[in-house]
Each structure stands twice: as structure tokens, then as C-alpha cells.
């Protein structure tokens, strides 16, 4: 099968749209629901700000990339070479674990049809 080129951190329960939500969506959901303590919220804000400053949001490049009518089930995967981005996920995983939200690391060399790609990530429609 070859070496995994992509990694994704996602919940283990399908969303109403049928996909497994990613780590950022899950953590931001806890924040929206008011479930984070002050330290967790501060980490999340700082982490999100760092990712916004250091990571391309595919939606800024292609506003339709996550549109469920255009690309049903589209999800983002980090490239395994983007270690500086992958390493920072740990704090998000700790927040999810503290709130009993199950999350898993999934690796693949071919996660789906690539609809967006840059140096650090892909967005795919799963096969």
C-alpha cells in the first residue's frame, strides 16, 4: 500500500451530514457550546489564531471547497510532511479528551479525490 502521505484527526461519530468532523470543528464546537474552561478557551483562541496566520484556509482560495452540494463530504487532510502543523494538534486533542470527545488519527496514502492542494494539505471528497 505504500507509505501514508496524509494524516487527519477526526471524531469517531458521524456528523448529521454523514462525515467524521475534524479536530478543529470539534474543539470549536465545544467553545461555541460554552463548555471550555478559561485555560482551554485561551489555548483554542491562540491556536486558532496561529493556524489562521500560518496555514492557508482552503475556503479562502476556493469558496466552494466545503460546499456540500458541490463537494459532498469534503474534508481536509494534513500532508505528513507538515510536521509543524501536525504537532500543534496535540493541545486540541487534549481538550477533546478532557470533554470525553473521542478522536482518532487516521493516515492514508489515497484518502479520496483531491479537490484542493497546497504545500501542507489536501481537501478530498472521500472515495
Chunked mean pLDDT (size 10), the chain, 127 residues: 87 89 96 98 98 94 95 95 96 98 97 97 95
Residue 59 lies in a domain: yes
Residue 35 lies in a domain: yes
Strand order of the sheet with strand 6-11? Answer: 103-108, 6-11, 75-79, 121-126, 112-117
Residue 24 lies in a domain: yes
Residue 116 lies in a domain: yes
Which pTM value belongs to this model?
0.92
Q: Match 468532523 to its residue by C-alpha cell.
A: 21
* Domain ranges, residue 14: 6-126
Instruction: Find, among 91, 102, 121, the residue nearest to 12 by Cα.
Output: 102
Residue 1 lies in a domain: no
- The radius of gyration computed from the CA coordinates of the chain, to the nearest angstrom, equals 14
Residue 38 lies in a domain: yes
Please list, residue by residue across 98-121, b when 16 or more beta carbons sit within 10 angstroms of its beta carbon and e when fewer do. eeebebeeeebeebbeebbeeebb
Tally of structural domains, the chain: 1
Cell of 50: 496561529
Amino acid at each position: 500500500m505504500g507509505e501514508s502521505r496524509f494524516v487527519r484527526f477526526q471524531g469517531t461519530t458521524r456528523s448529521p451530514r454523514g462525515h467524521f468532523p475534524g479536530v478543529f470543528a470539534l474543539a470549536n464546537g465545544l467553545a461555541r457550546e460554552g463548555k471550555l474552561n478559561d485555560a482551554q478557551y485561551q489555548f483554542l483562541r491562540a491556536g486558532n489564531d496561529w493556524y489562521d496566520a500560518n496555514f492557508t484556509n482552503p475556503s479562502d482560495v476556493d469558496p466552494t471547497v466545503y460546499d456540500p452540494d458541490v463537494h459532498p463530504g469534503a474534508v481536509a487532510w494534513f500532508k505528513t510532511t507538515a510536521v509543524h502543523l501536525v504537532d500543534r494538534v496535540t493541545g486540541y486533542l487534549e481538550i477533546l479528551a478532557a470533554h470525553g470527545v473521542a478522536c482518532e488519527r487516521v493516515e492514508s496514502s489515497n484518502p479520496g479525490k483531491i479537490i484542493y492542494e497546497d504545500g501542507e494539505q489536501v481537501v478530498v471528497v472521500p472515495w
